[in-house]
Structure 1
Amino acid sequence: MKPRTKLVLLIVIIHALLVLLLLSTWPENIYLVIAIEIVLLLSLLTFFQLYKRITNPLTIFSSKICHSRHHDFNSRFLKTGQPEMDKLVEACNKMIEEIQKERVHQRQQHLFLDQLIQASPTGIIILDSDQNIVTFNRAALLLFGLNENDITGKKLNTLESKLADELYHLNDGDSKVIQIDSVQYYKCQKSRFFNGGFHHYFIMLQDFTTEMLKTEKVAYEKVIRLMSHEINNSIGAINSILNSALNYKNQISKIDRVDYENALVVAIQRNESLISLMKNFADVVRISEPQKEPYDLNNLLKSTFTLMHPECQKRSIDLNVALSDTPLYFDIDVKQMEQVLLNIIKNSIEAIKKNGEIKVFFTHRSSQIILNVQDNGMGISPEIKHRLFSPFFSTKIKGQGLGLTIIKEILINHDLRFRLETNGHNLTTFQIEFKRQQVP
């Protein structure tokens, strides 16, 4: 039974007894009856006022507490004029004010942390205790190449991303560099924190490709420069001596003269081939910075088709180029990007050899245009997949390993992400990702 009900019941019982007392004295003493009636009336009025003074503050407190329960801390209690009650009101108002300040501080802190996470160039992914994705920032979204709706509330291994699948297998406390698609490197770290009685996990993800490739480039540039300096100096002196020796061929007997001259000529030619080889290596080092200008990728594909179509016809290879319905303007160095496409299609031709198909087409994502060059050639084996873009690595007998190295250098200088892979249907695709921009 509620206290209010008990109080009302007590008042009713007391006054009922007084009424019985009044009836028992009726009508012997009329003055006493009138006095008792007046006392009863005054008693009821007094009890009614006391009841209101006691219950009204409680009602107000109850309503305020209800507001607080719904996170409304803007209203305050009003003083009642009763000293004891006013002290309680003042204490409650101070408590509400402190709670409101704390909530404002927490909201500001939460907003600050959220803005900091979103602005961070490092990808940040927060998982719940069941490894479902709870929060992520824009950098992580771009690294995955997916839409926001494709990620929220899902597990990493269910996303259509090789990077996400690799991250799923990270253990708590792991920190390592993951290589994806032959050329993409990501520095990843997984840790956990305790919140709301449960463990939560977060993954910090950084595109480490540029740093890795710059370090790699510095290393092979030093090697190329050293080799080029030593070989060119030595070969120059040797060829000078060999050419001088040719001047003495007439002093050799006619029987040995032809062999003597041929031997020297072959030696000179081999030396010149070695110089040419070193020049090719040096050209990789000397790739200039791109001179970018707005250019329609459709026109780039048209010129590439014109140049490569005759070679494809000789080998009975269908070269199919699907242009975009609308112009696709991007800031590129036209000559360098043309060289990239020529090298990619040339590699596809060599992978097919004869009787095959090469498709060049665009695919669209929310923030990207992807240029695809796809062939049905021999494909890429898992053993060499992660070595394709390594400097001077080649699967060809006479290959120098420069084609993909040059492609890599040019695309990195253009700040374009790319990948090369063979799917389960033995189709090899080279993809170049262009970030969308306004048409001029």
Structure 2
Amino acid sequence: MSTEFEVARLSTGDADFAQRLDALLAWESVSDARVQQSVDEIIAAVRQQGDVALLEYTRRFDRLGADSMAELTLESERLAEAFERIEPQQREALEVAARRVREYHQRQKPTSWQYTEADGTVLGQQVTPLDRVGIYVPGGKAAYPSSVLMNALPAHVAGVDEIIMVVPTPDGVVNELVLAAAHVAGVKRVFTLGGAQAVAALAYGTETVPRVDKIVGPGNIFVATAKRAVFGQVGIDMIAGPSEILVVSDGQTDPEWLAMDLFSQAEHDEDAQAIFISWDEAHLDAVQEAMERLLPTLEREPVARASIAARGALIACRDEAEALELVNRIAPEHLELSVAEPERLLPQVRHAGAIFMGRYTSEALGDYCAGPNHVLPTSGTARFSSPLGVYDFQKRSSIIHCTAASASELGKTASVLARGESLTAHARSAEYRIHD
């Protein structure tokens, strides 16, 4: 890998700016036909062979030999034991983060409601939690206890009865911090499974793994492809692409702060994206210089370097208004408004997963402990998607309760519309209840 610092410099004044930006943003989260075929085969095998297929795939992909699913099952006692094993400082950090995440999501809880019309008709909505949810937690290149908190706690707040967690443990290596996070988040059972086979087990159930109603949590390309394949059989949160950050600065924030904010996402993986926008050319130069100087100091320097070279960019724009146009065009997962008056700009931001306001609010705080969820829409899907929340673990049922009088009156309207659609059984069903 080259050690020369590379990052794209773009300007909105360039004739080819739109094409270059489109190329920079292009991403397909679910891969080619080869991956799809492999995932389809794994799902079919798990559906047909159940636990036998799970044990075989765990031996093959995670190099973990197990004679029974009991060896791949961790109950609540083991999770509590992990919590006691970790360092006191880690226990405290998990508890502080969990408290903040739980308190934030408590405010999201929707309530059931009803109203009564003048003729006695009662209309409303009943909100109920899902029965059982599956949480996928990555366990390959890196382990993410924060992901456990962000996925499990909203489900817990929503009232989900049972939360099943799956996490791969390649070569049998178990991350105690991940298990401790599961304990803090109220998870009672964990299966050390990963990949498309874990998704299939959650979607269809096996002799040991119970079938769930919804699967949430990030994973690699095989996990993303499997989630898309089982959607409809179960609900899913989203098909997430690589992590992204877009930072907008007015030229007054310390360039080193901004460089490290960009690296905080670039270090996730080589496909992550970090973009910086400013209308101050000298500031752009200063941030680029800080990035070049600080990059060699990172522990994950090769990953961050590859990410910045492939998908990073520093963009010069004309003014604040044009910067906001770019924000809404890009629809980033994470947006930092590193400006003097972020509240003034906020109403103009239409598309962003999470918005970090002001110079002191680094995106990293949102990843771990600020409170809002860090499971966010990527790859421009913030145009129509929202962060994971309590509402993702609940259903809404409509309530309709007619009196004899209101059924008679509504029946007249329903009859006309039903006969207009040639659905006479509909019409007659309504007409039976009409009386003069």
**Structure with higher helix content:** 1
TM-score when scaled to structure 2?
0.22
Larger Rg: 1
